[in-house]
Chain A
Amino acid sequence: MVWAAEGNYQLGQGFKLADWLTVGGYISTEYKKSDDHEEFVVDDLAFLAYGEFGDSSSFMLELESVDAFEFDFDRHESRTNLPPAIERLYFDHGFSDHISVRVGKQITPIGYWNLQPINVLRETTSNPRYSREMFPKFLTGVDIYGYTTFDDNLTYHIYMQSTGDLDDAYININIDIDKHYGFSANKQFSGGWEAGGSLGRFEKDGDFSTRYLQLNARRVTGAYTFVIEAISSLKKGPGQLADRRSNAAYIQGEYRYKPRHSIISRLEYRDDGNSTNRERIAILGYSFRPVYPVSLKLEYQWHTLSDDNQLQASFSVLF
């Protein structure tokens, strides 16, 4: 039988070496300038390898050099960090569309932003504080997921971690945890709408535990994309009498006025339970994609709480 491929390599879709192995990667560079700081960063330099084997099994490996190169314009100093960390390493097996199991280090299946975290797939250079500071971005454990049997448009995840991170050189917000349990669901509606939420708990033995409730909704219609995500958490530390509540949310709108050009605006809110630490951030951005896997972005941020107003620009490629 004659086999033909779309081409062994397509930009943004990796290089298919064999049926069981596709390799690729991504790179992103960022420039940031505020009143008191200016820097250039090669933020991500990552390698991907994945494939399918057997009837319904697959694997994924992602190695990443985080902040591979930094240049500080104020101090005229540069820094490199090339040794890669394991960002993802997991095995997947699908028993049916209703039950699949993923074991290993993976992205925590919470909301929309967290599942598409790399620069080239986003429409802004920056990530909202919602996604950076409120829950562990990665899970080293088991995720059982699929479509529910009673609703064709409803998906679920039941995820659990009962160990430290596989490679804690790459975790967010210094939430170095050793337990995490949660449940999330997402439902597709007509008219381009979808909505869902997550409920979970993570802890560091003998240090703290945090419970969270997260909600998300998105509408994609023609040239417009609208996303809102919010999370509220209760953190309990050792010897602490009362739980400390934190909240974060963002709302983002994108207008793709030409197939390769978008205008983006985002409003963010974050508080850590302290009335003096309630920050609001407004962002206005522009995104240009000469081809979809190549992204050029520019944004300006206004911060209410700090003198951190800044310009950010980035160039990123998925290959």
Chain B
Amino acid sequence: MKCWLLILLILFSQSTLSADFAVIVSATSGIDVLSSERIRDIFLKKRRFAQGKRLVPVNLLGSKPPRLAFERRILEMDRLNLQQYWTASHFKGVTPPATQASLASVKLFIEKVDGAIGYLPIEMVDDRVKVIYEF
């Protein structure tokens, strides 16, 4: 009985620890890994470069689960905080990242636009894009 409980506990902890989403760049990008803090700064447009390369962050349009997960886990901000942040940024002359209407178009944008960085569900990742962070 104890043995079964232990196996269940291990399986449960593995499933909760595994990532649902990936931050990605194009497969040909020279960037291999970025910290969550650096990704946060890039999507808040506090930083614009990584490893000497100018980056172009792209968001999924609206309030779909991947975007909400990204905002909660990477940006660590809710919608009210983000509205406050981008309102102050408007006065500074900074606009939020570009958006794409669907996950497929986010992926295509990342493949085609030099320096693009975005996020997708793990199951959509293939050899056309490169994972640099999982969350």
Contacts and interface: CB of A to CB of B under 8 A. Distances in A.
Interface of A: 1-6, 12-14, 16, 22, 24, 26, 48, 50-51, 55-56, 58-60, 92, 94, 96-97, 116, 118, 121, 147, 152, 259, 291-293, 318
Interface in B55-99: 59, 61, 80, 83-84, 86-88, 90-91, 93, 95-96, 98-99
B49 A4 contact: no
A12 B83 contact: yes
8 contacts: A4-B100, A12-B87, A16-B95, A24-B90, A94-B49, A96-B49, A121-B88, A318-B91
A152 B93 CA distance: 23
Contacts, number: 75
Nearest 7 pairs of A and B residues by beta carbon: A50-B93, A4-B101, A12-B87, A60-B93, A97-B47, A292-B83, A97-B49
Interface residues of B, number: 27
A22 B87 CA distance: 13
A121 B91 contact: yes
Contacts of A152: 37
B116 to A, nearest CB: 11
Given A1-B112, A96-B49, 6 more contacts: A2-B100, A3-B100, A6-B59, A48-B90, A116-B91, A293-B87
Contact of B105 (A2, A50, A96): A2
A4 B93 contact: no
Contact of B48 (A2, A26, A56, A60): A56
Given A147-B47, A292-B80, A292-B84, A12 B105 contact: no
